[in-house]
């Protein structure tokens, strides 16, 4: 940590909180979890688990306080089913969970990885006991998708990251039935040259609704002589017109620093896919994949993030 910058997300001292060796069955790595707080108050993480074939599936870990004493399900929650969904023949990855109170269901946006590249698929679950896959909704090459928790002007809204003309930016799309998405629009693009988010960007966790707008945590990638660096920044989208970005971070706010973030299967990666907002409606637990190998959590405050963003 550099004392000249604010520490907007504070790492938990027990990080990494989840590693492959804690799993009740063989997995090579666990990372990039989606997150939610269940009706019983427990935190649920839907973790990407990569095996020694190199392919990923999704498994559940639960904890009372979202920090420690994790209980891991004895078998995966969602596996790739290439016979039914050929688009997931190389696995399913990077889930992002949104609770939709209007439907009383959780919607999981996840990456299906197949021969044409990554695509966005949806699954729906009431209680994380079982789930129903809705199938692919955004064709390859597309990923890093999450739903907003409510309809905006009578339509469901999704952020996602298509590769368009070799450029990886955050787009918004709309749907009336969750299956057909249209009116795609670019809302946040990579910057250029030496910027920390010049190579590619993508949504991190699902948007957080605040009075000031939708707070977005996104990852930005910089390419340098030693490879790619995955760091995290913020943006604020207009509440009723989320295709309008009101504010965007100049500085990144969280970056690989510790050994477990700097070294692993893919070095120098922090990659959040989920967060929980605690009962005070301010404290955030941000869950992130560290070096594509393990899972870390860092704590932040919505108020402090917004204040910092407004002063950028």
Interaction site with ligand BMA (CB under 6 A):
32, 93-94, 230, 266, 269, 271, 289, 292
Q: How far apart are CA 23 and CA 114, in angstroms?
A: 26
Q: How far apart are CA 2 and CA 253, in angstroms?
A: 11
Min dist CB 222 to ligand BMA, Å, is 13
Min dist CB 71 to ligand BMA, Å, is 25
Q: What is the DSSP string of 230-260?
A: EEEEEEEE-SS-TTSEEEE-SS-SB---SHH
Q: What is the DSSP letter of 306?
A: H
Min dist CB 98 to ligand BMA, Å, is 19
Min dist CB 81 to ligand BMA, Å, is 20
Rounded-to-5 percentages of helix, strand, coil across the chain: 5, 50, 45
Identify which of 174, 167, 166 has the alpha carbon closest to the alpha carbon of residue 138: 174
Return the number of the residue (162 or 289) whose C-beta is nearest ligand BMA.
289
Return the number of the residue (32 or 131) whose C-beta is nearest ligand BMA.
32
Tokens 């420690």, residue located: 68
Return the number of the residue (44 or 168) whose C-beta is nearest ligand BMA.
168
Q: How far apart are CA 183 and CA 257, in angstroms?
A: 39
Return the number of the residue (70 or 230) whose C-beta is nearest ligand BMA.
230
**Which residues, 6 or more positions from 229, have their beta carbon under 8 angstroms from its beta carbon?**
196, 221, 222, 223, 255, 256, 268
Min dist CB 93 to ligand BMA, Å, is 6
Decide if 72 contacts 61 (C-beta within 8 A): yes
Min dist CB 254 to ligand BMA, Å, is 15
Q: How far is CA 210 from CA 54, 145, 206, 215, 302, in A?
A: 39, 20, 13, 7, 8
Return the number of the residue (80 or 302) whose C-beta is nearest ligand BMA.
80
Return the number of the residue (161 or 306) whose C-beta is nearest ligand BMA.
161
Walk across the sheet containing 283-290 and list its strands: 10-11, 294-301, 283-290, 270-277
Return the number of the residue (35 or 306) whose C-beta is nearest ligand BMA.
35
Min dist CB 173 to ligand BMA, Å, is 20
Min dist CB 281 to ligand BMA, Å, is 29
- Name the closest residue to ligand BMA (Cβ): 266
Identify which of 197, 193, 201, 307 has the alpha carbon closest to the alpha carbon of residue 251: 197
User: Two tokens at 240?
Assistant: 């009723």
Return the number of the residue (80 or 269) whose C-beta is nearest ligand BMA.
269
Tell me the three state secondary structure of residue 23.
coil
């Amino acid at each position: 940590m550099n004392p000249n910058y604010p520490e907007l997300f504070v790492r938990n001292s027990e990080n990494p909180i989840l590693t492959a060796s804690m799993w009740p069955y063989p997995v090579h790595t666990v990372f990039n979890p989606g997150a939610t707080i269940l009706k019983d108050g427990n935190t649920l993480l839907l973790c990407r688990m990569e095996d020694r074939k190199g392919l990923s599936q999704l498994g559940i870990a639960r904890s009372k306080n979202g920090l420690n004493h994790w209980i891991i399900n004895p078998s995966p929650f969602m596996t790739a089913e290439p016979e039914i969904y050929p688009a997931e023949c190389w696995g399913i990855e990077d889930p992002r969970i949104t609770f939709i109170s209007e439907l009383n269901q959780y919607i999981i946006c996840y990456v299906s990885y197949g021969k044409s590249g990554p695509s966005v698929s949806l699954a729906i679950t009431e209680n994380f006991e079982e789930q129903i896959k809705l199938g692919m909704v955004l064709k390859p090459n597309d990923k890093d998708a999450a739903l907003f928790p409510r309809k905006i002007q009578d339509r469901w809204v999704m952020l996602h990251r298509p590769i368009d003309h070799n450029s990886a930016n955050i787009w918004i799309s709309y749907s009336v039935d969750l299956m057909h998405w249209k009116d795609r629009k670019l809302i946040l693009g990579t910057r250029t040259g030496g910027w920390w988010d010049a190579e590619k960007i993508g949504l991190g966790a699902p948007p957080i609704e605040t009075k000031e707008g939708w707070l977005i945590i996104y990852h930005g990638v910089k390419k340098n002589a030693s490879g790619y660096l995955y760091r995290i920044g913020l943006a604020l989208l207009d509440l009723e017109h989320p295709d309008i970005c009101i504010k965007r971070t100049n500085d990144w706010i969280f970056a690989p620093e510790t050994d477990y973030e700097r070294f692993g299967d893919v070095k120098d990666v922090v990659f959040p896919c989920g967060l929980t907002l605690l009962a005070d409606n301010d404290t955030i637990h941000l869950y992130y994949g560290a070096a594509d190998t393990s899972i870390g959590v860092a704590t932040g405050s919505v108020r402090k993030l917004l204040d910092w963003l407004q002063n950028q």
